[in-house]
Amino acid sequence: MTRPDGDVPQPEAIRIEGLHKSFGQLEVLKGVSLTACEGDVVAVIGGSGSGKSTMLRCINFLETPSAGKIVIGNETVAMRPDGSPADRKQIERLRQSLGMVFQQFNLWSHRTILENLIEVPVHVLGVPRAEAVARAERLLARVGLSAKADTYPAFLSGGQQQRAAIARALCMEPRAMLFDEPTSALDPELVGEVLAVIRDLAAEGRTMILVTHEMKFAREVASHVVFLHNGLIEEEGPPEQLFGAPRSERLQQFLKSVA
Ligand code: ADP
Ligand code: MG
């Protein structure tokens, strides 16, 4: 996909350097470095257990890295030597600047869709309610869910719930979006409507890191593709190269296995 910004170098949005993460004896990330500039769509592919979710969760501070550096915009996350965050307030602020979308939607089941969208803006960020509602309604329209504003999540299909979750993340006006296999929990016939929303966000130049098993889609929307294997980047590059002429044998194997 041609990026709206053409070839003009863009500022960095997210950079990780030498990221390590262990759970006890298990070393899951073994030194991963990656940069997403403004407007980039970085697709992360790799087998189950390769560390994709852990990497994304570290970027969003849902996991504490064991070592490495994380830079959001021009702000380096202050870490103690053991990787734990030194400044909770900074973490809170930076986390709010990243919209995370999970495989399992994670909507609050006891709140309507509209309430799901305005909860954090109103009660955490202090956005005036009318303003938050207006923004939420605009975003619901964008993902095709205007009619569902007053509905509870359980009455929506999986595809609708995931579109609502994307709208909820957008309500935070994030600098970048992080998607962790956003279509993996969906029935096949519902995948397309969610991909259409993500495609739309990519086309408007949103920065995103997208972990996905949808290889065709990754090839279509990504500006850069990263193949993670066993906690390390095994190969990365433009989609035409990664999918069209993969160099590493592991990537070749992987692409065959998901074809
Ligand atoms: P992927 O998303 O690529 O499938 P994950 O990042 O979820 O991989 O997991 C990578 C490895 O880390 C797996 O072996 C998984 O079992 C392990 N892991 C992930 N989260 C935890 C955790 N909280 N505690 C212990 N092990 C974990
Ligand atoms: Mg995962």
pLDDT of residue 79: 83
DSSP state of 78: P
Q: Nearest bound ligand to CA 45?
A: 1
pLDDT of residue 191: 97
SS3 235: strand
pTM over 0.90: yes
Ligand 2 center from residue 117 Cα (angstroms): 25
Q: Which position has the token pair 């954090």?
A: 120
Q: Which residues form the pocket of ligand 1, taking CB atoms under 6 Å from any ligand atom?
A: 23, 26, 28, 46, 48-54
Burial class of residue 245, CB neighbours in 10 A (0-12, 13-18, 19+): exposed
pLDDT of residue 157: 97
Ligand 1 center from residue 49 Cα (angstroms): 6
Cα separation, 46 vs 2, whole angstroms: 24
pLDDT of residue 7: 66
Nearest CA to ligand 1 atom 23: 23
Tell me the best of 28, 102, 229 to mutate to test the pocket of ligand 1, counting ligand atoms within 8 Å of each CB and taking the most: 28
Contact 115, 185 (CB under 8 A): no
Report strand pairing: 75-76 vs 98-101.
unpaired
Ligand 2 center from residue 229 Cα (angstroms): 13
Nearest CA to ligand 1 atom 27: 23
Ligand 1 center from residue 130 Cα (angstroms): 41
pLDDT of residue 5: 57
Nearest CA to ligand 1 atom 12: 28
Q: Nearest bound ligand to CA 32?
A: 1
Cα separation, 180 vs 171, whole angstroms: 18
For the domain made up of 12-110+176-258, the CATH class stated in words is alpha beta
Cα 5 to the center of its chain, rounded Å: 21
The stretches in the chain having pLDDT less than 70 are 1-7
Q: Which of 235, 185, 237 is nearest to 214 (CA)?
A: 185
Q: Strand 232-237: give its sheet, edge to edge.
A: 98-101, 176-180, 207-211, 41-45, 224-229, 232-237
Residue type, 30: K
Q: Nearest bound ligand to CA 63?
A: 1
Phi and psi, residue 120, nearest 5°: -70, -45
The predicted-structure confidence for 124-145, as pLDDT tens digits, reads as follows: 989 999 999 999 999 999 999 9
Nearest CA to ligand 1 atom 16: 49
pLDDT of residue 259: 82
Nearest CA to ligand 1 atom 7: 53
pLDDT of residue 85: 78
pLDDT of residue 25: 96
Q: Any idea what the Cα angle at residue 191 is, between residues 62 and 134, rounded to 5°? A: 65
pLDDT of residue 3: 56
Tell me the best of 26, 30, 32, 254 to mutate to test the pocket of ligand 1, counting ligand atoms within 8 Å of each CB and taking the most: 26
Report the nearest atom of ligand 1 relative to the CA of 50: 3
Cα separation, 86 vs 79, whole angstroms: 5
pLDDT of residue 84: 79
Give the CB-side neighbour count of residue 42, counting CA atoms within 13 A.
Answer: 26
Ligand 2 center from residue 83 Cα (angstroms): 21
